[in-house]
Amino acid sequence: MTTTLLRLMLIYIVISAGLSTFSIVNLAYSLGDARVINASGSLRMQSYRLLFFANSGSQQALQKINEFEQTLYSDALANHGGFFTPKEIEDQYQMVVDKWQNMKQYILLEDSRSYAAKLIPFVDMIDHMVLLMEQHAKRKLIMLAVSLAVGLLIMLSMAFWAIRFAKRNLTTPLDDLVVASQRIRNREFELQLGQYHFAELTEVAGAFQQSANDMEELYRDLQSRVDQKTEALSKANQELVIANKVMTDLRGNQNIHIRLSAALTTITELEYVQYARIHLDDLMAQDIEAHNGWPKAVEPSLILPLSHDNSDVGELHLYGQCSLSKPLFEQLANMISRTLLIQKSEDERQQYALLDERATIARELHDSLGQVLAFLKIQTNLLRKGFKDDPIPQKAQTPLVAIEEGVSTAYRQLRELLTTFRLTINEPDLHSALVSMVEHLQKDCTAPITLQDEIPRHYLQPAQHIHILQVAREACINAIKHANPTKIIIGCRVVSPELVSITISDDGVGMPDINHKEGHFGLGIMQERAARLDGQINIETSAGHGTTIGLTFPASAVAKERT
């Protein structure tokens, strides 16, 4: 290391001394450049002055000639460059001297006209000589600057090389040893210490490496156990958070499909689960999927039954590395199955409560208003029989007919209302109720009644089922009685996640006047049912082309009961 540094310093000193010597010589050689250029410039001025003395022939003209020659033959111009002077400058100087001999003769002969004619070319020749001298001086300065720059670059390169050498062979090994000591202090024993330029540093690095290897053997097993425990705790914590969030999603107040989809989306937040869905045993029910859906070509990696207390409701399908945490998914499946069964029980309870309430209303109507209407009908018959022998007065005949028709119409409408209130539903879902209704109506109708139900099971609340059934039943009855159709189609579908559409279409004679007295009571009932669902009734009819009655309402609407 010492020898290398000494050699480097000697080279550095030699280069510095050479640059200094060259600079001094160059500067000494350039000291006369300014004097030469000034003398050359003086020749131009004196040439113009001699023009005024070209015709005088006086002693003053000879004096000016003598001054010009003193400048022209001075040491500054005659010996200005020494052996370093370029040949073109010497040639140009000689041309100026030769030209001066001609110009001098013009003055001595007092030929001012010839002198003036040759003056401009002579001055141009002097200017060209001055230009050559300036360029020569400029080249010397450039040479000096380049030599200094090259020398500086060489010295900087040597300094950079010296720094690199010291850093690579001394500083870097020391830094490696310092870092190694810090890593050992922090219980990090994987060291990368190799062979160095100096034997002492190599020996120290080997001692560090051996110590680190021995200590690594002691701590490796312990660190592995700690990592395994930490990973297990982290995974358990994530699974606990997911399970808690799934429980929160299932306990919401939203539609059961929305809650289940949110819970499945939460399950896919696990890093080893990509897709999740619920497949219900009900053939009419659609699969419930997470928000990212379920690709058609993907087969489940794990299938778990959704059952509780020996009641099977469907299956939980998962795709991903699901086998890593099967106990968690079994618990999640148990939570989902309980939620489905609780929802089913709640739907049944609400529906049976509604049916029981309507049955009670039907009994009250039958026992009160029904008996009153029956009594009025009997009384009108007795009144007409009382006039069997005597003609009914003309003034009483018209009111009596109106009373009979009113009582008959009210009694018929009461019977239809009682039939609607006494409608029973064996299963707590809309599809089963619609099937029962169609079977009941088909007995009194020759035209086929087709049910196209695309609404998933448990998508609507039981309170909504009753209103939908009554609207559909009233529309079908109106079509059967008044439209003379060849077919009736009941369509149920989900238009958007929050909008449901129920349509009853027929190909009968249409409704020329929807405000006509006939059927006006039924349309009013349908409008009232739609209002209770926060929806609306749309009627599209054309004479001879049938009628379509549409009910649209939000799926999340809470059915309002009559107060």
Higher pLDDT pick, 5 / 12? 12
* C-alpha–C-alpha distance, residues 229 and 225, integer Å: 6
Of 271, 269, 343, the closest CA to residue 306 belongs to 343
Query: 93 near 72, Cβ under 8 Å?
Result: no
Question: Which pLDDT value is given to residue 213?
Answer: 74
Of the listed ranges 245-249, 373-377, 471-475, the one predicted with least confidence: 373-377
pLDDT score of 283 more than 70: no
pLDDT score of 29 more than 80: no
* C-alpha–C-alpha distance, residues 409 and 415, integer Å: 10
pLDDT score of 210 more than 50: yes
- Paired residues of 314 in beta bridges: 280, 306
Question: Which pLDDT value is given to residue 552?
Answer: 93
pLDDT score of 249 more than 90: no
Helix (H) or strand (E) holding 553: strand 546-554
- CATH 1.20.120.960 in the chain is located at 2-171
Arithmetic mean of pLDDT, 491-518: 78
pLDDT score of 135 more than 60: yes
* C-alpha–C-alpha distance, residues 233 and 38, integer Å: 94
Query: 297 near 319, Cβ under 8 Å?
Result: no
Residues of the chain with pLDDT > 90, as a percent, come to 4
- CATH 3.30.450.40 in the chain is located at 234-346
What confidence tier does 563 reach under pLDDT thresholds 50, 70, 90? very low
Q: Which CATH architecture has domain 234-346?
A: 2-Layer Sandwich (3.30)
What is the rounded average pLDDT for all residues in the chain? 76
Q: What separation in angstroms does the CA of 525 have from each of 242, 468, 471, 531?
A: 48, 12, 8, 10
Of 538, 539, 543, the closest CA to residue 508 belongs to 543
* C-alpha–C-alpha distance, residues 344 and 428, integer Å: 8
For 43-67, what is each residue's pLDDT tens digit? 777 777 777 766 555 667 777 778 7
Sign for the CA dihedral angle at 554, 557, 562, 563 comes to: negative
pLDDT score of 346 more than 80: no
Compute the radius of gyration of the chain from its Cα atoms: 58
Question: Which pLDDT value is given to residue 543?
Answer: 76
Global pTM? 0.42
* C-alpha–C-alpha distance, residues 548 and 541, integer Å: 6
Question: Which pLDDT value is given to residue 549?
Answer: 92
Arithmetic mean of pLDDT, 464-482: 84
What confidence tier does 502 reach under pLDDT thresholds 50, 70, 90? very high
Question: Which pLDDT value is given to residue 324?
Answer: 56
What confidence tier does 518 reach under pLDDT thresholds 50, 70, 90? very low
For 519-528, what is each residue's pLDDT tens digit? 455 677 788 8
Q: 427-563: CATH homologous superfamily?
A: Histidine kinase-like ATPase, C-terminal domain (3.30.565.10)
Query: 252 near 342, Cβ under 8 Å?
Result: no
- CATH 3.30.565.10 in the chain is located at 427-563
Arithmetic mean of pLDDT, 12-34: 68
What confidence tier does 418 reach under pLDDT thresholds 50, 70, 90? low
Exposure b/e, 402-433, CB count within 10 A at least 16 = b: eebeebeebeeebeebbebbebebebbbbbeb
* C-alpha–C-alpha distance, residues 490 and 465, integer Å: 15
Question: Which pLDDT value is given to residue 78?
Answer: 66
**Alpha helix segments (H runs only) across 251-322:** 256-267
pLDDT score of 452 more than 80: yes
Query: 328 near 316, Cβ under 8 Å?
Result: no
What confidence tier does 559 reach under pLDDT thresholds 50, 70, 90? low
For 136-147, what is each residue's pLDDT tens digit? 778 777 877 787
Question: Which pLDDT value is given to residue 27?
Answer: 60
pLDDT score of 327 more than 50: yes
Question: Which pLDDT value is given to residue 325?
Answer: 64
Tokens of 348: 């049944």
Q: Which CATH architecture has domain 2-171?
A: Up-down Bundle (1.20)
Question: Which pLDDT value is given to residue 362?
Answer: 62
- Count of H helices and E strands in the chain? 15, 9
* C-alpha–C-alpha distance, residues 499 and 507, integer Å: 26
